[in-house]
Amino acid sequence: MHDTGVDPDEPATSDDAAGPGDAIDAGSAADGREAVDAEPTRPAQRRSATRGRHAKADTGATPRPVDATAQMSSTSAPLDGPVPSPLDPQAPSAEEPGQPGDDEPRKTGRRDQPPSAVPGGIPAPTTMVTPAHASVAGPAADLPQEDERPDSAARESPDTQLGPDTQLSPGTRVGPGTQAFPGTEATPGRTGAPASDSAATMRTSGRSVRTALSRPAVRKLGAGLVEIPTVEPADPRAAVLSNPVVAEGKRFCWRCGSPVGRTSPTHPGTTVGTCDNCGAPFDFRPSLHPGDMVSGQYEIQGCLAHGGLGWIYLAIDRNVSDRWVVLKGLLHAKDAEAQAVAMAERQFLAEVAHPSIVKIHNFVEHTGSDGTTVGYIVMEYVGGRSLRDILDSYPRPERLPIAEAIAYVLEVLPALDHLHSIGLTYNDLKPDNVMVTEDQVKIIDLGAVATIEAYGNLYGTRGFQAPEIAKTGPTVATDIYTVGRTLAVLTVDMPMEHGRYLDGIPDPADHPVLARHEFFYRLLLCATDPDPARRFPSARAMSAQLAGVLREILAMETGVEHPQLSTVFSPQRAGFGTEELLGQTDAYADGVPRSTKLSAREVALALPVPVVDPADPSAPLLSAAVHPDPEHALEALDDARERAAADPDNAPPNLEVELRFAEARVHLDRGEPAAVTHVLAGIPAAARDWRVDWYTGLAELVELDFEKAFARFDAVLNVLPGEIAPKLALAATAELVLQHWDSPDPEQWRAYAEKFYATVWRTDHGVVSAAFGLSRQLIAAGRVDDAVHALDEVPATSRYFTTARMTAVLLLLTAAAPAELDETTLHFAAARVQALPSNEHRAVQLRLLVLGTALAWLQAGRTPKRPDATLLGEPFTERDLRDGTEAGLRTLARISPNRTHRYALVDLANAIRAQTWF
């Protein structure tokens, strides 16, 4: 990279910067990656499978018996009309390369009711069933539906180098962009967070590398769900800079941040001198050269990059198998304060040991020719490509495939969780600091690592760093923010200004990837919420939600379910909505009409509930209070509260909060929504989390306050975007609005119900309630084939498998008026009925439905294509259909529990009996 002398506040050309964060002087080294000196900144639904002719929705769609006098209506009953009695024979049936400043590290200081469920009867879709229905029968029907730079592995990505925005502030800073906020400099007794711009590199042997034949062409990340291309190995020597010179535009005083060593009208630029502003000395020359032996062990091969604390060197460890290593030195070796910062860095790095974090091998000192002793950190060499390199291989506005980007980040989150577990924060996550190697994904450059809530000088990158870090210091929440920003940059063409990414997440209306993947968008919003208290509480929690979002995306893109066991919700406690359509045929047997509407209470009792974290200190006491009887459960909870009060010193600090959540669940099971609300009101504001919204939403559901419940469940989804439970709750609530309320915007509610049901079902076929709910929404939209597909996907191992198959028969036969049905549909439905188990008590009812519909079809003037056609094993003639219907009615009469209904069934059988001359 050539020195252009470009003003740091002006966009640079492709010749003076390699991308966001200012590239190193000679490209992007895959090894020894570090952020270089940069410009200064002041701290501050699937496709429809419907085939054939589409008929207008039959608004009655009710199971139809036939009459004896050929008076069967050729049309279905109105949708909102009464259910026809089966007894009535008359009843009807990255910043572009070359722009400096993009994501540069900076240092900051501290501080209509659906037809599917109308009382009038079974809904009638508008789609005709055609011979193509043969494809519907299968149980596994589908519901919805880099130019690599040749030297990219040997060059350093722009933002992996410390630019001015990552350099030390007063007392330790390198450029103005990294100055500490006033009053946040390190003070005696309070150690500032060290900024060891470590050039993290993955270990590759100095003697050999793996051959291409020894590696698979692809590998899988993201819990083994996403295929990732294998990164080709590169010779580490190719990353060595041939002319290690810091460009003039990247020379800043380490103390005050003023430009130094620049060419002026009166004198040429220089790499050695004194700052005109504060008098601090500077020296941008490498202190080590090829062939130098450091500590009698590390043979220097050359410079890889220049960072905020100095040059980064490639070396060979002659004492350990000639392995490649990286040495990171101190830029201002003669400055005692800068030396102290580097030494303090060891306290942090020595504790870090994780497979996804660059390894720190050693800490050594080397005495130069001038007698000055300089300390060096020895790190593993990490070969491969950074995510910035991979991202830059895509022409804008194209970004990484969303599943691939998520898979990379899922590999990084455990590393951040490890840092948090030992009291550290990473502070500078961005694409430049994530390396994809031959074997794994690693985060490099530990220069911004600091203790949680540390005082003093902090580091980060503009466009990635959390806005509140100046007030709060580094926290888990600030790291979560950087993860969200990194995900956004990898997947969305983020807007930029003056070489940095603008804050916020773009509008989905302007970015198709966000519009298509709503729950990914919600995840980004949660991770980057301006309020740190509303972000994911931990890297592990974010990882669980991100994995859930990934599975939903893969299910959408592949058509294959990708279920995930929730760590925060129980499984669905019961099914709901599985009998609302099929149950109407039970009126044939007992004469009792059934409601087609969902029951809000049944839905509330069927939905999942939050589970207690096994690691929670309150878990043992809460587990002991679990009891199937609500009364006993409340007594057990009271006992737990009394035991805690008797020994407050040993009681978990959050016990009272957890007891209240447990009480809320018991009151919900007892059908006491007011008690649920009362119990939750006693939880302090500081201890309230998404569970308050969940239980309150369930209580409001029972009270039929559907819009408020919907808002509660939506709030839960905002913080748990990868969970199935809130989506199922939202779908059911939207359907309840359609069924029980006269909504001014029924289509919007129907769209909600279909969207959420579809997401749940295609992701997890174990949630069968979603299949039935989706089929009801599709039927309401006239998409019969899609509705049948959804029901056919119910697994054969499910207890609802036969119910789903029978419901599909019902949908096929009520798709339109009998005269408008295709003959193939009748045969297809008949074949399904014949395949029912011999012990299925509804088989007679379904058989009657097929025979009655076929008889009405013949009476409407339709004839079979073949004169010898059969239906249900008998000739497809009016006489035989009448005989079969009569026999079925008499069978129902024999088993009917109601005497009056038995007489009515016999009378109906007599009326339908075929007339003879004898």
Q: Which of 689, 703, 697 is nearest to 727 (CA)?
A: 697
Q: What is the mean pLDDT of the segment spanning 149-166?
A: 39
Tokens coding 739: 């069924």
Q: What CA–CA distance (Å, rounded) separates 313 from 306?
A: 9
Over 60: is that where the pLDDT of 566 sits? yes
In this structure, how many other beta carbons lie within 10 angstroms of the beta carbon of residue 654? Answer: 12
The pLDDT of residue 438 is 83
Q: What is the mean pLDDT of the segment spanning 102-115?
A: 45
The pLDDT of residue 218 is 67
The pLDDT of residue 50 is 40
Tokens coding 528: 């980057």
Tokens 């995900």: give the residue: 487
Q: What CA–CA distance (Å, rounded) separates 156 from 29?
A: 3
Q: Which residues of 36-72 are buried (b: 16+ CB within 10 A; e: fewer)?
A: bbbbbbebebeebbbbbebbebbbbbbbbbbbbeeeb
3-state DSSP assignment of residue 631: helix
The pLDDT of residue 193 is 39
The pLDDT of residue 173 is 35
Q: Which residues of 118-151 are buried (b: 16+ CB within 10 A; e: fewer)?
A: bbbbbbbbbbbbbeebeebeeeebebbeeeebee
Tokens coding 733: 């609530």
The pLDDT of residue 73 is 38
How many Cα atoms within 13 Å fall on the side-chain side of residue 824? 13
Tokens coding 205: 């042997």
Q: What residues are annotated to the active site?
A: 428
Pure H helices in 653-745: 655-669, 673-681, 690-702, 706-719, 725-740
Give the tens place of pLDDT for each residue, 504-520: 999 999 999 999 999 99
The pLDDT of residue 333 is 55
Average pLDDT, the chain: 79
The pLDDT of residue 216 is 56
Strand order in the sheet with 323-328: 293-294, 298-307, 310-317, 323-328, 373-380, 360-367
Instruction: Give me the DSSP letters along 492-553.
Output: S---EETTEEPSS---GGG-HHHHH-HHHHHHHHHHT-SSGGGS-SSHHHHHHHHHHHHHHH
* Contact between 621 and 640 (Cβ < 8 Å): yes
Of 438 and 874, the structure prediction assigns the larger pLDDT to: 874
* Contact between 420 and 476 (Cβ < 8 Å): yes
Which of 188-197, 788-797, 853-862, 873-882 has the least mean pLDDT?
A: 188-197
Q: What CA–CA distance (Å, rounded) separates 598 from 219?
A: 46
Over 50: is that where the pLDDT of 54 sits? no
Q: For 259, list phi and psi in degrees, rounded to 5.
A: -60, 140
Would you say how long the chain is, in residues?
A: 918
- Percentage of the residues of the chain whose pLDDT score is greater than 70: 73
Q: Which pLDDT band holds residue 586 (cuts at 50, 70, 90)?
A: very high
Tokens coding 223: 């819990």
In this structure, how many other beta carbons lie within 10 angstroms of the beta carbon of residue 96? Answer: 16
Helix H or strand E segment including 888: helix 878-895
Tokens coding 453: 């809530």
Cα angle 28, 31, 34 (rounded to 5 degrees) comes to: 65
The pLDDT of residue 346 is 62
Radius of gyration (Cα) for the chain, nearest Å?
35
Q: What is the mean pLDDT of the segment spanning 134-158?
A: 38
In this structure, how many other beta carbons lie within 10 angstroms of the beta carbon of residue 531? Answer: 8
The pLDDT of residue 842 is 94
Q: What is the mean pLDDT of the segment spanning 705-722?
A: 98
Q: What CA–CA distance (Å, rounded) separates 425 from 423?
A: 7
Q: What CA–CA distance (Å, rounded) separates 646 from 649?
A: 9
Helix H or strand E segment including 304: strand 298-307
Q: Which pLDDT band holds residue 231 (cuts at 50, 70, 90)?
A: confident
Torsion angle (degrees, nearest 10) of CA 452, 455, 458, 463: 70
The pLDDT of residue 340 is 60
Of 385 and 46, the structure prediction assigns the larger pLDDT to: 385
Q: What CA–CA distance (Å, rounded) separates 518 from 323?
A: 47
What residues contact residue 66 under an 8 Å CB cut-off, 6+ apart? 72, 89, 93, 851, 852, 855, 856, 881, 882, 885, 912
Ramachandran bin of 671, using left for φ above 0, alpha for ψ from -120 to 50, beta for the remaining angles: left
Q: What is the mean pLDDT of the segment spanning 354-368?
A: 88
Q: Which amino acid is at 825?
A: T
Of 173 and 400, the structure prediction assigns the larger pLDDT to: 400
Over 60: is that where the pLDDT of 181 sits? no
Q: What is the mean pLDDT of the segment spanning 255-269?
A: 85
Tokens coding 41: 């900144």
The pLDDT of residue 330 is 54
Q: What CA–CA distance (Å, rounded) separates 882 from 818?
A: 16
Over 50: is that where the pLDDT of 458 sits? yes
* Contact between 326 and 310 (Cβ < 8 Å): no
Residues pairing with 298 in the sheet = 294, 317
Give the tens place of pLDDT for each residue, 756-782: 999 999 999 999 999 999 999 999 999
Instruction: Give me the DSSP letters along 684-706.
Output: -GGG--HHHHHHHHHHHHHTT-H
Q: Which pLDDT band holds residue 885 (cuts at 50, 70, 90)?
A: very high
Q: Which amino acid is at 845?
A: Q
> Which of 203-217, 446-460, 487-501 ranks highest by mean pLDDT?
487-501
Give the tens place of pLDDT for each residue, 267-283: 888 889 999 888 888 88
Q: What CA–CA distance (Å, rounded) separates 580 from 810?
A: 12
In terms of Cβ atoms closer than 10 Å to its own Cβ (0-12, 13-18, 19+), residue 656 is middle
Domains of the chain: 243-380 (3.30.200.20), 398-558 (1.10.510.10), 563-582+592-772 (1.25.40.10)
In terms of Cβ atoms closer than 10 Å to its own Cβ (0-12, 13-18, 19+), residue 472 is middle
Q: Which amino acid is at 749?
A: W
Give the tens place of pLDDT for each residue, 629-670: 888 899 999 998 988 888 888 889 999 999 999 999 999 999
Give the tens place of pLDDT for each residue, 302-323: 998 887 667 889 999 999 999 9
Q: What is the mean pLDDT of the segment spanning 559-582?
A: 95
Tokens coding 794: 């119910």
How many Cα atoms within 13 Å fall on the side-chain side of residue 253? 19
* Contact between 574 and 532 (Cβ < 8 Å): no
Of 671 and 217, the structure prediction assigns the larger pLDDT to: 671
Q: Which residues of 249-269 are buried (b: 16+ CB within 10 A; e: fewer)?
A: bbbbbbbbbbbbbbeeeeeeb
Q: Which of 817, 831, 901, 840 is nearest to 72 (CA)?
A: 817
Helix H or strand E segment including 106: strand 105-106
Which of 99-103, 183-187, 479-483 has the least mean pLDDT?
A: 183-187
Ramachandran bin of 764, using left for φ above 0, alpha for ψ from -120 to 50, beta for the remaining angles: beta
Over 90: is that where the pLDDT of 572 sits? yes
The pLDDT of residue 335 is 59
The pLDDT of residue 19 is 37
The pLDDT of residue 876 is 95
Q: What CA–CA distance (Å, rounded) separates 698 from 601?
A: 9
The pLDDT of residue 348 is 63
Of 144 and 233, the structure prediction assigns the larger pLDDT to: 233
Q: What CA–CA distance (Å, rounded) separates 637 from 834?
A: 53
Q: Which residues of 171-207 are buried (b: 16+ CB within 10 A; e: fewer)?
A: bbbbbbbbbbbeebbbeeeebbbbbbbbbbbbbbebe
The pLDDT of residue 159 is 42
The pLDDT of residue 150 is 38
Tokens 């700052």: give the residue: 275
Of 566 and 131, the structure prediction assigns the larger pLDDT to: 566
Q: Which residues of 666-679 are buried (b: 16+ CB within 10 A; e: fewer)?
A: bbbbeebbebbbeb
The pLDDT of residue 133 is 40
